[in-house]
Structure 1
Amino acid sequence: MSSNSTHTVSGTVWNQTGNAIKKVWICHFPGKGAAPQYFETQNSLNNNQGESFSYDGIQLPSGGNDQWMVYYQDAFNNLIGTDGLFNAEINHNNGGVTITLDGTSVDVGQKSSIGVEDTTTYTAMQVPMVAGYLSQGGISVSDMYIAAGLTAPTKSGIGIALSGGGSRAMSAGIGQLQALVSMGWTKDVLAMSTVSGGGWVGIPYMFLPKEFSDDDFLGSYLPPEQLTNSNINTMGPSQIGGKTNKMSALTLFISMLHMSHAVSDDDRLYSNGTMIWQMLMARYFLHPYGLVTIGHDFNPSDTFAYSDAVIKNNALVNQPVIRSDPFQQADMADPYKIARPMMISNMMLEVQNQSATTFGAPVVSTPFFTGCLGAPDATTTRGIKSSVGGAAVASQGFNSMYWYLNGNQPQDQANLVISQRRNWALADCLGTSSSAIAAGVLQFMSRLSLNEIADGVMENGPDVLEADREMLPEDVYLELKNMYDAGDRESLLAQLSAQDIPSFLKTPSYMYWSPAHVESSGTSKNPMDYEANFVDGGLMENTGVANLLAFTDINVVFAFINTATAMTKTGGAGIPGQNGTDIQVTEDIAALFGYRPYSKSKGWERYSSTDLTKGSIQSRCLARAQIFPDGKFAEFLKGLWQATLDENNNPGVYPAVLSQLLELRANPLFGIFKSRLVTISWHYLTPASSWNAALTPSVSSTLSGISDFPNYPTIRTGLDYSEVNFLSSFAGFCALPSNRKPGTSSLMEEVFMSTPDMPDLED
């Protein structure tokens, strides 16, 4: 066909799905080096029973490996795509279409060559990728801005890490952000890395719409002397801290039951419970702020990007009609709110090496790209077992199948044509990063008898259902309401009996491939071949520090370690040859220095090569997490302990805060390819009696009734207002430089006043 010839495409649609088709789009892929073309049929569709459509005057370029696709725009503004030369069907459900090209019939099969026999549908899009930076020694935050056509930020190289730890980490993170906001310092932070519960506050904060102020969302910092028995039990309607008030293990489980009803039988082949936890976390932490849009298949139907400019310049420039999903935007130039750090959300991809040892590869998600930046010698554990790491794609294009590379530009500037069921969303980041908590909740519930669970569900279910209502399809809500209204305990028991509660939720599962390995990744067009398991990022690196330092322009990190492990001096063994190191801290920090979890009898022992293959997947991951010299761990332990001592050497008086200048060691698993010097300001969650001493007697008496303060167990997800407010006040107090041990320097003030550039170390 010559480039100046015109053609007519026409056809008839037969749709029996009940999901009205509004438009038909014809998509022509001319092959490598040419942009796709999209043609909208000239008439709208209504009843879809034998309706005709047409498009006249299509101009087709000649040559190349031409490929065609047909898209149907449905009532939800989703585009349902098909594979091949008009090899089309509607929603894989007894629908059909007859296509003619210039009056000549084109054979149309009733089964798409995509190879999934359910309602799963896919839409092609073109996305930029990040790949070749590996040979340059890493990527910076500024690189992403420049690649997106934006001005690089002028901020100093400061990063914040909010650790994982469920509702405890979220509550402490609130106080730490309150403290930074009160000093006006968040605008100086280049990026914020979050894991698990740290993401529950960090992710919505970084994308907070302009109609919510920081005070609306976080609340204001309250120093201990201003706490009263009234204000500790008060929470504003938009405050994120109030969202855990009714988030106990039981109520979370009840919501899981409710949401499992919203997953259709047809959809289970694809999702099969893998999205329930993500959507439940979205219910609590995204939905109140308009940061999730629910699709008709009970998956998120939105996506996210840094700004409107990024969306237009990089992702959808060649096909503005193909993705109509809403974008959540984190444009830090928004004049209506304080500038936000760039989001780095941390997850982990399950991989295995040539010896079939399973471990994890870190995955980071930002407003610019999502992917595995590291370079492990490993493959995914499912599907086609594709090679892992070394690149990323624009975030909206993650969770996709690879089709082909479009263009002959250098790899970092080239675009990929992908096929995708739906976009990657904030709900995916939030829920996948905290998925270990879901497993903990189910393990807790499995200790109860079915009768005990049924009693709890029938008693609390109606209230939970009303809270879930906005997230549920109306027919599902009415079905569940009828069950509760009828007191149908037997039906509930039958449902519970059919479930293996510990495995009620499936491991988060997404399509994965690496743009650094496009040849091996492009061998299949069957989406099930791309399935990969994703898990909580905290299983490997719960501090968020390592993935933050993968960005080469981050030189100073304020690491908020909101752990359940209070710092204690044990009187047992320590580091061999290092007196005064019999100090227990969380294994998450120890692993960064190459040490195993603490043992009172054995002290601190270093990981060895045998640890890479034995034990649980978490231990095999921690054994791979070292990024700092092991010789600096003793300095960390002693310095952090000393920071808490008063003039009489009484421990636990002042906040546990320590600054260290450390050599960042290369660790290709995290995408850290070159050593450099970095400054880490450790903020460790552990009791500090100087805060308690400032409480009024009546408030102090109230606090005494709360167990495990401030190191609440992670499984205690349902924190009430007082538990959240106490912990937020405490964590904010510990973050403020004025509350440090007298006579100690405040790195925080020094850094935010003037941040020196850290030199690279010689190779």
Structure 2
Amino acid sequence: MSPSLVASILPLPGVSDLTGTVGVCLSGGGSRALSCAMGQLRGLRHLGLLDRVSAISSVSGGTWANALFSYLPADISDDDFLGPVILDPSTLTLSQLEQLSDNNLGWVPTRLNPPDLILKLGELKACYGYENSELWQGVIGELVLKDYQLWQADSDGFDTRYLSGTDAYLRSPDGPLARNPELTSDDFITIKRPRPQPIFNTSMFTNDGVDADLLPFETNLLAGVRASFEPGPGRLGAVGGGLLETLAMNSSFQSDAGPGTVNTTLPARAFTLSDIVCASSAAFAQMFEEQYPEFSGLVPRYPYWPIAARTSQPVMTYRFADGGSLENLGINALLARGVSRLIVFVNTDQGVCRDPASSEVIVSADLPPLFGLQPYVAGQGYVPYSDENPGQGPTRLYRHNQVFDTAAFDSLKQSLLAARRAGGALLVRQQLTVLRNDWFGIQPQPQPVDVLWVYNDFVSSWWDQLPWESRDVLTIESLDDFPLYNTFTQLFLTPTMVNALAHLACWVVASDSTLGNPGGVSNAGMFIDMFD
């Protein structure tokens, strides 16, 4: 008999239901999002709130931060990794902003210079003979994960360790080791300290044609498409219907092994932390693929079989896409788990402003689709999605994202503008009714969810307190675009750019500033109140 595995499938007790808890969303946005996330995690930890978060749902650059934070080796301290809390911007001298400790998360953007990335792609191709669809995985391993002991390439260029949860889960009576005695703990990457449950979001194309849709693909202990999709136009076959333990990703289904478990073939290779991190941030692979023909096919592909139709649907290989190509905030993965209080970090490069021609408030394109609206278009405004107008280009892929009432969007955008004009942090709290969304497997919740929107934008009250030399150098290095670094043109960031953005993000979370906040509540108080 050929070697096989016994893997869990959803439902798995304690993994999916987070009803009544607080979850955090770390949006996509490349090196900008990573730098923001470093400061945001730092601020929540400073307030003693991070240990009270049930889950961190992330996309793309937010996943770079979430993956490293979640799986950080035990011998690297959180202080070293997240950096110091400095809530007085007047003390942020240029020499202070230039410093990163040895194991600081902020080193990652300093390694992502596009010319160096191209050289690294060629170097890895020559060294390991990767297929192009596996190159981005190697780059992420080498430049994002390796320095944190989370990428150990073998002679073929792959980490052979399966992605899993905690050591306690691994060794539990019905855990992966008990079900698969031929494996040992050395075969897994595990979470080494108490952490919120990580949820890494990517997306999967239904086919390779121009009519393809994107389906939400999530990963932590389990991976896959939560909702069930029958075969139909634009799909290769049946998709989804549940989640498979990451241990068995890249496998083929053999048989049911018992309640909540299946027998599978051995995977073609282990599905590693680098695989999900590279898939979640595949927009950058897409960018390089479009610019450099020799790297055609750089966007990752993975074999996948559906839980619901596992006995009838064979494994198929699908092209994956950046999580932000579908839903860039990670909100819907938390709503699918029943999370009732969400802190949503919108780490965007789109500042809040008014269109001078129409006086309409323009906000990040990530927000309107959650309310059933297309991103803003000059001369048209925010157009509702409909069967007659599903959007065009990338906008079309967002048409399944609505989870909140359209009427609530106006209050959000007006409140963000008011906060921006006040010169303080852009913090807006809303009570929002959750709508059913079959695309993401979301059921209506009996009570409105509590959402704290935290929007990355220029904060004049913080900026004006910086020493003049820090402001001048930061203006030059950021191309006069602090803190809205462009995702693609500024994938590489200097330590000064990383630190400044992280310190601002931390200040937004943990400072005693009340400027622009409702009721004179401090920034820190806005976050503390989410846990009361």
TM-score by length of 2: 0.92
CA distance in 2, matches of 1:657, 1:318: 47
Q: Residue 419 of structure 2 contacts residue 426 of structure 2 at CA under 8 Å; is this kept in 1?
A: yes
The aligned counterpart of 1:345 is: 200
Which residues of structure 1 form unaligned runs of 5+? 1-67, 70-122, 132-138, 147-152, 447-499, 523-528, 575-581, 647-652, 757-763
**411, 432, 438: which is aligned to 1:635?**
411
Q: Give the 5 Å matches for 1:438-587.
A: 438-443=285-290, 446=292, 500-501=293-294, 503-522=295-314, 530-552=316-338, 554-573=339-358, 582-587=360-365
| Residue identity opposite 1:711 in structure 2 | L
Is 1:246 matched with 2:100? no
The aligned counterpart of 2:512 is: 738
CA distance in 1, matches of 2:216, 2:417: 31
Per-residue deviation, 1:718: 0.9
Q: Secondary structure of 1:515's match? A: coil
Per-residue deviation, 1:325: 5.4
Per-residue deviation, 1:598: 0.8
Q: Given the superposition, is the C-alpha separation of residues 378 and 225 from structure 1 closer, same or farther in structure 2, using an over 3 Å criterion? A: farther
**172, 175, 187: which is aligned to 1:314?**
175
Is 1:595 matched with 2:365? no
Q: Give the 5 Å matches for 1:8-47.
A: none
Percent identity at matched positions? 25
Q: Given the superposition, is the C-alpha separation of residues 314 and 415 from structure 1 closer, same or farther in structure 2, using an over 3 Å criterion? A: farther
Question: Which string of whole-angstrom CA distances, capped at 9 and with x for unpartnered residues, describes residues 20-54 of structure 1?
Answer: xxxxxxxxxxxxxxxxxxxxxxxxxxxxxxxxxxx
Is 1:403 matched with 2:254? yes
CA distance in 1, matches of 2:251, 2:53: 32
Per-residue deviation, 1:645: 3.2
Per-residue deviation, 1:736: 2.5
Q: Residue 251 of structure 2 contacts residue 264 of structure 2 at CA under 8 Å; is this kept in 1?
A: no
| Residue identity opposite 1:615 in structure 2 | Q
Is 1:622 matched with 2:398? yes
Per-residue deviation, 1:619: 2.2
The aligned counterpart of 1:374 is: 227
| Residue identity opposite 1:363 in structure 2 | F
Q: Higher mean Cα deviation, 306-315 or 318-327?
A: 318-327
**435, 448, 451: which is aligned to 1:680?**
451
Is 1:713 matched with 2:486? yes
Per-residue deviation, 1:177: 1.0
| Residue identity opposite 2:106 in structure 1 | G
The aligned counterpart of 1:263 is: 128
Question: Which string of whole-angstrom CA distances, capped at 9 and with x for unpartnered residues, describes residues 313-372 of structure 1?
Answer: 3223243115775211125xx4xxxx311100001011169x994111101101x21111
Q: Residue 404 of structure 1 contacts residue 418 of structure 1 at CA under 8 Å; is this kept in 2?
A: no
The aligned counterpart of 1:660 is: 430
**402, 421, 435: which is aligned to 1:645?**
421
The aligned counterpart of 1:73 is: none
Q: Residue 656 of structure 1 contacts residue 685 of structure 1 at CA under 8 Å; is this kept in 2?
A: yes
The aligned counterpart of 1:725 is: 499
Q: Secondary structure of 1:362's match? A: strand
| Residue identity opposite 2:14 in structure 1 | D
Q: Residue 23 of structure 2 contacts residue 57 of structure 2 at CA under 8 Å; is this kept in 1?
A: yes
CA distance in 2, matches of 1:293, 1:433: 20
CA distance in 1, matches of 2:126, 2:491: 23
Q: Residue 456 of structure 2 contacts residue 483 of structure 2 at CA under 8 Å; is this kept in 1?
A: yes
Q: Given the superposition, is the C-alpha separation of residues 755 and 238 from structure 1 closer, same or farther in structure 2, using an over 3 Å criterion? A: closer
Is 1:124 matched with 2:11? no
Q: Residue 240 of structure 1 contacts residue 285 of structure 1 at CA under 8 Å; is this kept in 2?
A: no
Per-residue deviation, 1:405: 1.1
| Residue identity opposite 1:636 in structure 2 | L
Q: Given the superposition, is the C-alpha separation of residues 351 and 734 from structure 1 closer, same or farther in structure 2, using an over 3 Å criterion? A: same
Per-residue deviation, 1:209: 1.3
Q: Given the superposition, is the C-alpha separation of residues 563 and 754 from structure 1 closer, same or farther in structure 2, using an over 3 Å criterion? A: closer
| Residue identity opposite 1:437 in structure 2 | F
Q: Given the superposition, is the C-alpha separation of residues 744 and 303 from structure 1 closer, same or farther in structure 2, using an over 3 Å criterion? A: farther
Which residues of structure 2 form unaligned runs of 5+? none
Per-residue deviation, 1:745: 3.7
Q: Residue 130 of structure 1 contacts residue 392 of structure 1 at CA under 8 Å; is this kept in 2?
A: yes
Q: Residue 375 of structure 2 contacts residue 395 of structure 2 at CA under 8 Å; is this kept in 1?
A: no
Q: Secondary structure of 1:609's match? A: coil
**414, 421, 444: which is aligned to 2:268?**
421
Q: Residue 169 of structure 1 contacts residue 562 of structure 1 at CA under 8 Å; is this kept in 2?
A: yes
Q: Given the superposition, is the C-alpha separation of residues 440 and 505 from structure 1 closer, same or farther in structure 2, using an over 3 Å criterion? A: same
The aligned counterpart of 1:387 is: 238
Is 1:282 matched with 2:141? yes
Q: Residue 178 of structure 1 contacts residue 218 of structure 1 at CA under 8 Å; is this kept in 2?
A: yes
| Residue identity opposite 1:726 in structure 2 | A
The aligned counterpart of 1:292 is: 151
| Residue identity opposite 1:422 in structure 2 | R
Paired residues in the alignment total 523
Per-residue deviation, 1:377: 4.1
Q: Residue 350 of structure 1 contacts residue 380 of structure 1 at CA under 8 Å; is this kept in 2?
A: no
Q: Residue 40 of structure 2 contacts residue 502 of structure 2 at CA under 8 Å; is this kept in 1?
A: yes
